[in-house]
Structure 1
Amino acid sequence: MEGHDGDDMNGAGYNGDHGIDGTTHGNDARTRDFLAPVNPWCHAGGSGLFPDAAQTFSGSSSFNQSWLGLESLDLNSGEDWTLSNTRQTGLYRTLRFSMTYGAMKLPLAIGQSDLMKFRKGLPEYLDQMDKMFTGNTVDGSTSFIAGESGTIDLDGTSSDEEAAYEQDDQLTPLSIGNKRASSTSTNASSPRKRSKSPALRAMDNNMRTHNEIANHRLCLMESMFEHRKQEDHNSQSALSQKIDRVTQIAKEMGISAQTPTLFRGLYNIIHNESDMDFFLANGPEERMIIIEQATPVDVVSAAATHCADPWDDLEEMMMAELEHAEDDDAFMYGMYQYALHIDKHLNRAEYRQPAMTGLEWVQRKLGDSKAYYSMFRMSPPMFHRLHDLLVQSYGLKSSTKSTSIEALGMFLWMIGAPQSVRQAEDRFERSLGTVSNMLHKILKCMVKLATDIIKPVDPQFRTMHPRLRNRRFYPYFKDCIGAIDGTHVPCVVPNHKFVQHLCRKGMTTQNVMAVCDFDMRFIFVLAGWLGSVHDMRVFNDGTTTYSHVFPHPPAGKYYLVDSGYPNRLGYLAPYKGTKYHLQEYRDAPEPQGKEETFNYAHSCLRNVIERSFGVLKMKWHILHQIPSYAPHKQSQIIVACCALHNFIRISGIEDRHFARCDRDDNYVPRQASDNQPDPEEVEDESDLMNEFCDSIAYALLNHS
């Protein structure tokens, strides 16, 4: 359900979001896309596929009426409105509505093929679509940049603590690809996940049976109390009615406060239910005698009658039963804790004695540069420099059972190959809990590193990059300081988050925005936005919510952006509707006209962001599909990969992935465009930047 960009509403362009957008559509957006037919003959008893005189819809909005040829249409009333009096010449005109409660977007489509699909009415599945999208909101609360959101905290446990239970976790990543796909199986030195002991399984069954009996007992007692409460209510109601009747008859007999002796007799009667029954069963003369002869209430006798109530005995029995049940509960709970203690401490599997520890495996690979680069995506000198930096400045420490070198090697191996937690457990001979904690520890350090390394070298951008001095770009782009773009990172998400993460490619992704300079270094990275949103939503969040961190262009400077962003002050976009990407020019004639000439130069210079994304994904394969970690951890993994990207770039040590791009400025790794939806064009916003764009285009055309 994607929105549409560049559609003019009230004469102003807007940036459409991808349907499920809590900010635009409210906290409970129920989005419905459908085609609504409009009858061009709006007279009574109209003809055609839709014989009704007009189609009536509900909405609250307004738009440029000239698009539809409507003479009068008011959508701001908040009431039902009718389309009528069309001035079009075609046979049918269709409107595509993205309808929400309180907001409406009305992009226009002309044609008859889609209209024919609805000749029998709207689809039957609209109610199911309402249910599907109910509560699916995208409000930006998941966005993450290094240093501005909470980093990962270890849950107060040692990184070497062996997990008491290694049960399957829904968030435990699955194996990806064919490489080591079956490595969750283990050998003799790495036994399978230990199952529960017989004592614990028996106590599980006993506890389940005990809980069922206790629940049945409580339900029975509740029903008995409810029955007693209802009986008391009925008895009190009947007694009140009987007292009212006796009192009314006594008044008719002339008994009142003026006859104190008879009034006291009446008072004595209404305190004894049997006397009232006898009183009501006789005639007027007998009733007077009964009142005259009524004796005072015997309080002791009444108390004795009350004590004889069988419900009192039942209540005492139930209270005694509850006391016994508490003793049973305490006994069962104690036995269960004892079974847990046995299972945890007295029935543990023997410690593994691996033929080669994880540390030994990492050190062995360090001796082979080629094998090490394949496994850990960097050279041994780069690894040692990164390890020393994390130890000295970012809190990486060894523990009694695992070293910092092993933890860092495992982290790089997991995000580079990629490998799952279970594969790391098998390779490094560690429990799942230990592997997870080691991953947390390194990821926490990487997020801290990202805070210091993902930022401009010179926040004022005072130095012109050497590439801009090339005669192809100078002096036309001499004030350009970098490029901005978004990339979709596939990720595995829970079912209830599927719709929000669904991008236009039909897969679940995170929409990540990055800013880079011409050295292919990221200077700003915003992760965490769900794949269903438009790039402009992410851009606006980065420039507003994180305005204090975002590297805004100084006066007179600007970034290069693609057609998915508007031409606005400080951000230079290409001409819309004209071929732009380099692959469109490779097998085509030379650029013709000012627009193609400008777009070609713009694309050649802006491809630095695409090349940066390509190297990033070519090196860290986990970004091809992030496993089903918690969503906030997925965002932190993306930022950590960008931090490693920058560290390698500024280290001064040659890297084969960067070297391939350095040899050819027009080389863009294919990973940059894999599974990436095409940008949705948006309308330009700044006449000043449009004029600036034209001036560069004419200068380039004259130079050529």
Structure 2
Amino acid sequence: MSILSNNSMWMNALLEEFCIDDTLTTSVHIVMHFLLKAVPEWTKFIVLQKQRKCHFRMPLCYEEWITNYLDTDFFIHFRMIKSTYFKLTTAIGKELTVKKYRGGFEIIPLEKEILITLWYLAKGETLVSISDRFNVSVSKAFYITMKIIKVICSLMPIYIKWPNAEDCEQIANDFQQRCNYPGKDIFKPHSNQRNMLFLDVIGAIDGCHITCKIPKEQHDSYQDRKFCHSITLQGVCISSRLFTNISVGYPGSVHDARILRESDLGKICETNCFNLFYGRYHLVGDSAYPLRSWLITPYRNTGIMPLQRKHNYAHSVTRVVIENTFGMLKGRWRILNFVNVYTIEKAIDIITACCILHNFCLLTCDIYEVDVTSSEHDSCDTYIGRRDREGARKRDLISQTL
């Protein structure tokens, strides 16, 4: 054996010390072996110094959280009670395939992945703090949240769907009982207008701005009237505050009327609204939307008659349900106060997932009450365009019943 220099002997001793360490995997030993043969002696110390360090985290057992937390405490942290969490785990588990353990790091259970995602959506905390709390790396926490959010988004056809004809009848009755807005049987039995079967309210429509982190080159497009960068969420809800339709992704600078016109809902309604409203139902929306036979808006506040003013009041009382729904949504999922992700596509997925979870919780009787004193999306832009003649006639008939 040749005589090594002092530096070589010292580095070989240091390498032997690393090789004795049981925490290093076999792949690390192989890579280090080839690196130390390929690089000069003066760089060997740098290679050894760049070995992966083990970050300390307090080990926490998520099973203890589930079994020991009261429903009230669990709700504070995850914005749903434990029974709802178990149902959500079952629903998500049906969409995922369980991976087999093939060595390396242990597979994180699905229950823990859902808890990490719920904490992220409910608290709006950074992934750094979440990774420290749940004893995972930051990259793993990001991968988990995006994976579970994608799965939740795939459940949208199940939990956010347009009502059928039978459901519309019940929804219209609920609106009339809770909001006392006329619309059911506004035509007399002897009237010759029975072929104009636009009768009942089955939803309220509005838009909501979700403040997001937007790439610098797109700041102008996504700047709303409050000079914030936001993505618009268009939602339709019923009196029980369930979403029946959502459209997410339009920039905050886009007008509500244009969002409706370019959304899937607007395209279907303009071509054949009978498929959604069955020839008799309609939505209520604010003055930013166009007046249509399937969408009743208030009268303009310029020189209106007392009867029309009374209609606007009843219309506002009915439409406020969508504002309350947006308030419940933002109150439960605090991530919507500011969505801090690096792509617009991921922000859209987060907003969509929150809407789906909102419906999921309400369908399981997991209700989160919040006081909403004013709308967070007060539209000051009145729609200026061609009015629908049938819509104007229908609105006048509704006003006459007040």
Query: 1:615 maps to what in 2?
Result: 328
Cα deviation digits, residues 108-136 of structure 1 (max 9, x gap): xxxxxxxxxxxxxxxxxxxxxxxxxxxxx
1:389 aligns with 2:91: yes
* 8 Å CA contact 2:175, 2:202 repeated in 1: no
Within a 5 Å distance, the mapping from 1:311-330 to structure 2 comes to none
Within a 5 Å distance, the mapping from 1:70-149 to structure 2 comes to none
Query: 1:380 maps to what in 2?
Result: 82
Cα deviation digits, residues 596-617 of structure 1 (max 9, x gap): 1101111111112111111101
Query: 2:54 maps to what in 1?
Result: 350
Q: State the Cα RMSD in Å.
A: 3.2
1:696 alignment partner, one of 373, 392, 398 = 398
Query: 1:561 maps to what in 2?
Result: 285
TM-aligned CA deviation for residue 690 of structure 1: 0.9
Kindly provide the amino acid, as one letter, of the partner of residue 287 in structure 2. Answer: S
1:529 alignment partner, one of 250, 253, 256 = 250
CA change 1:467–1:345 in 2 (3 A) is farther
Within a 5 Å distance, the mapping from 1:180-329 to structure 2 comes to none
CA change 1:687–1:546 in 2 (3 A) is closer
The number of residue pairs the alignment matches comes to 340
Distance between the aligned counterparts of 2:130 and 2:58, measured in 1?
A: 16
Instruction: Tell me the TM-score normalized by structure 1.
Output: 0.45
2:298 alignment partner, one of 537, 559, 574 = 574
Query: 1:635 maps to what in 2?
Result: 348
1:433 aligns with 2:139: yes
TM-aligned CA deviation for residue 498 of structure 1: 0.9
Distance between the aligned counterparts of 2:118 and 2:97, measured in 1?
A: 15
Query: 1:93 maps to what in 2?
Result: none
Give the secondary-structure state (helix, strand or coil) at the position aligned to 1:567.
coil
Distance between the aligned counterparts of 2:208 and 2:332, measured in 1?
A: 16
CA change 1:530–1:656 in 2 (3 A) is closer
Query: 2:193 maps to what in 1?
Result: none
2:66 alignment partner, one of 363, 381, 391 = 363
Cα deviation digits, residues 512-545 of structure 1 (max 9, x gap): 1111122211111111111111111210111478
CA change 1:483–1:545 in 2 (3 A) is closer
* 8 Å CA contact 2:332, 2:368 repeated in 1: no
Q: Which protein has the larger Cα radius of gyration, Structure 1 or Structure 2? A: 1
Kindly provide the amino acid, as one letter, of the partner of residue 316 in structure 2. Answer: S
* 8 Å CA contact 2:260, 2:266 repeated in 1: no
* 8 Å CA contact 1:553, 1:559 repeated in 2: no
CA change 1:464–1:618 in 2 (3 A) is same
Cα deviation digits, residues 361-408 of structure 1 (max 9, x gap): 6436x62222211110011111111111111x2216477331111111
TM-aligned CA deviation for residue 481 of structure 1: 1.2
Query: 1:8 maps to what in 2?
Result: none
1:485 alignment partner, one of 201, 206, 225 = 206
TM-aligned CA deviation for residue 624 of structure 1: 1.0
Query: 1:97 maps to what in 2?
Result: none
Question: Which of 600-609 and 343-352 deviates more?
Answer: 343-352
Q: Mind listing any 5+ residue stretches in structure 1 that lack a counterpart?
A: 1-199, 201-330, 580-590, 661-667
1:403 aligns with 2:106: no
Higher helix proportion (structure 1 or 2):
2
* 8 Å CA contact 1:376, 1:412 repeated in 2: yes
Kindly provide the amino acid, as one letter, of the partner of residue 145 in structure 2. Answer: L
Distance between the aligned counterparts of 1:682 and 1:396, measured in 2?
A: 49
Within a 5 Å distance, the mapping from 1:464-483 to structure 2 comes to 464-465=170-171, 466-470=173-177, 472-474=180-182, 475=184, 476=186, 478-483=199-204
TM-aligned CA deviation for residue 677 of structure 1: 4.7
1:681 aligns with 2:382: yes
Kindly provide the amino acid, as one letter, of the partner of residue 215 in structure 2. Answer: P
Distance between the aligned counterparts of 1:576 and 1:543, measured in 2?
A: 27
2:262 alignment partner, one of 525, 530, 541 = 541
Query: 1:181 maps to what in 2?
Result: none
Distance between the aligned counterparts of 1:482 and 1:545, measured in 2?
A: 14
1:509 aligns with 2:230: yes
Give the secondary-structure state (helix, strand or coil) at the position aligned to 1:455.
coil
Distance between the aligned counterparts of 1:422 and 1:546, measured in 2?
A: 42
* 8 Å CA contact 2:58, 2:135 repeated in 1: no
* 8 Å CA contact 1:460, 1:554 repeated in 2: no
Question: Which of 678-687 and 548-557 deviates more?
Answer: 548-557
Query: 1:251 maps to what in 2?
Result: none
* 8 Å CA contact 1:617, 1:623 repeated in 2: yes
Distance between the aligned counterparts of 1:419 and 1:619, measured in 2?
A: 14
Query: 1:424 maps to what in 2?
Result: 130
Give the secondary-structure state (helix, strand or coil) at the position aligned to 1:626.
coil
Distance between the aligned counterparts of 2:359 and 2:265, measured in 1?
A: 25
Cα deviation digits, residues 615-672 of structure 1 (max 9, x gap): 1011111111111331100001000000001101111x34242xx6xxxxxxx624x7
* 8 Å CA contact 1:358, 1:429 repeated in 2: no
* 8 Å CA contact 2:248, 2:348 repeated in 1: yes
Give the secondary-structure state (helix, strand or coil) at the position aligned to 2:356.
helix
TM-aligned CA deviation for residue 358 of structure 1: 5.6
TM-aligned CA deviation for residue 565 of structure 1: 0.4
Distance between the aligned counterparts of 1:594 and 1:469, measured in 2?
A: 19
* 8 Å CA contact 1:558, 1:571 repeated in 2: yes
Distance between the aligned counterparts of 1:344 and 1:517, measured in 2?
A: 63
TM-aligned CA deviation for residue 429 of structure 1: 2.0
Cα deviation digits, residues 122-152 of structure 1 (max 9, x gap): xxxxxxxxxxxxxxxxxxxxxxxxxxxxxxx
* 8 Å CA contact 1:512, 1:529 repeated in 2: yes
Give the secondary-structure state (helix, strand or coil) at the position aligned to 1:695.
helix
1:415 aligns with 2:121: yes
Query: 2:12 maps to what in 1?
Result: none
CA change 1:389–1:396 in 2 (3 A) is farther
Instruction: Tell me the TM-score normalized by structure 2.
Output: 0.76
* 8 Å CA contact 1:505, 1:677 repeated in 2: no
1:453 aligns with 2:166: no
Cα deviation digits, residues 148-203 of structure 1 (max 9, x gap): xxxxxxxxxxxxxxxxxxxxxxxxxxxxxxxxxxxxxxxxxxxxxxxxxxxx9xxx
